[in-house]
């Protein structure tokens, strides 16, 4: 008969259990959702983020201990450098407060980028890019530039990456409720219209083609993001489909935004941001939009693009 000695089992990398801090909040009610006026989940079970659908304190308790760094890319090209100061100043008030943030400002005019005072743990990095003759060319190369920067630099520096447009301003909190594998935002101009009115690319010769009768939402190209690895894969795919169109002498109806929508039709986003996160200052606020978090500033497009 073999005698077994008493052995204490122990993992080789045993760590002390970290308990969540005690949180007191109103119990979620299964039969009484906070929002009944809007769609809060997609048919593929991705959450649609609206005010009233999340508890920021709980989310900070989940994501805060992870010591995350969030990256932001924004392109300040040509006359668009005028928007950098307001973008960064508003982001410092509202974007991912309490988290480490790297702002990657892609520009063809580094000497004109203002020096904005940032909070500890947050930094602004200027990424020089070549000058292009038109805004259409700039748009065409945006996915390529982001993809290259992730491969060379930002994959080692950030956990999540949001790709935002610079001519926008933060008006209210943008926090960890936006984090997900791959995140898209519903365009403010098309959230309440049938998909037959979406400005999808309808030419079958384009790699961005979406046939009539297909489509979920119309997503805006001004906001997308997710885990840095997923954003790398997404931007690589979009860059390749843009190159395919270019080889066939085609420019999609809404340039890179058309390719973004084509991609998200077949590769569904894991989280969808409501138009709160992509509004337009020229539009009146409807009752469904309880607050505006991030919005395009009113401007003269002809002046800044010529």
Do you know the residue count of the chain? 306
Q: Alpha-carbon distance 265 to 263, whole Å?
A: 5
Structure tokens at 90: 């508003």
How far CA 35 is from CA of 50, 106, 176, 272, 289, in Å, comes to 8, 38, 19, 16, 11
210 and 203 Cβ atoms separated by less than 8 Å: no
**Is 257 annotated in the active site?**
yes
Helix (H, G, I), strand (E, B) or coil at 242: helix
What is the rounded CA–CA span in Å between residue 111 and residue 114? 8
Query: What residue spans of 197-268 are helical by DSSP H?
Result: 228-247, 256-266
Provide the token pair at 85: 């100061």
Catalytic residue among 51, 144, 177, 257: 257
CA atoms within 13 A on the CB side of 240: 7
What is the set of active-site residues? 257
């Amino acid at each position: 008969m073999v005698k077994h000695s008493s052995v204490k089992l122990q993992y080789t990398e045993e760590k002390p259990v970290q308990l969540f801090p005690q949180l007191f909040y109103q119990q979620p009610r299964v039969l009484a959702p906070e929002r009944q006026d809007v769609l809060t989940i997609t048919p593929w079970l991705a959450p649609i983020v609206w005010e009233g659908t999340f508890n920021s304190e709980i989310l900070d308790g989940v994501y805060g201990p992870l010591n995350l760094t969030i990256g932001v890319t924004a392109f300040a090209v040509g006359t668009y450098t005028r928007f950098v100061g307001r973008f960064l100043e508003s982001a410092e008030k509202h974007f991912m407060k309490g988290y480490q943030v790297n702002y990657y400002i892609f520009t063809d005019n580094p000497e004109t980028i203002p020096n904005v005072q940032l909070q500890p743990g947050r930094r602004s990095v200027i990424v020089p890019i070549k000058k292009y003759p038109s805004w259409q060319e700039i748009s065409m190369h945006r996915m390529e530039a982001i993809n290259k920067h992730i491969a060379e630099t930002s994959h080692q520096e950030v956990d999540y990456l949001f790709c935002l447009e610079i001519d926008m301003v933060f008006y209210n909190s943008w926090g960890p409720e936006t984090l997900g594998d791959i995140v898209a935002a519903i365009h403010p101009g098309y959230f309440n219209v049938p998909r037959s009115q979406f400005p999808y690319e309808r030419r079958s010769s384009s790699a961005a083609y979406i046939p009539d009768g297909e489509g979920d939402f119309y997503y805006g190209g001004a906001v997308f993001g997710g885990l840095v690895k997923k954003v790398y894969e997404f931007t690589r795919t979009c860059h390749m489909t843009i190159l395919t169109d270019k080889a066939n002498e085609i420019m999609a109806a809404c340039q890179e935004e058309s390719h973004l929508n084509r991609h998200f039709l077949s590769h569904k986003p894991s989280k969808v941001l409501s138009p709160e996160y992509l509004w337009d200052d020229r539009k009146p606020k409807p009752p469904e939009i309880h607050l505006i978090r991030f919005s395009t500033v009113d401007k003269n497009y002809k002046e800044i693009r010529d």
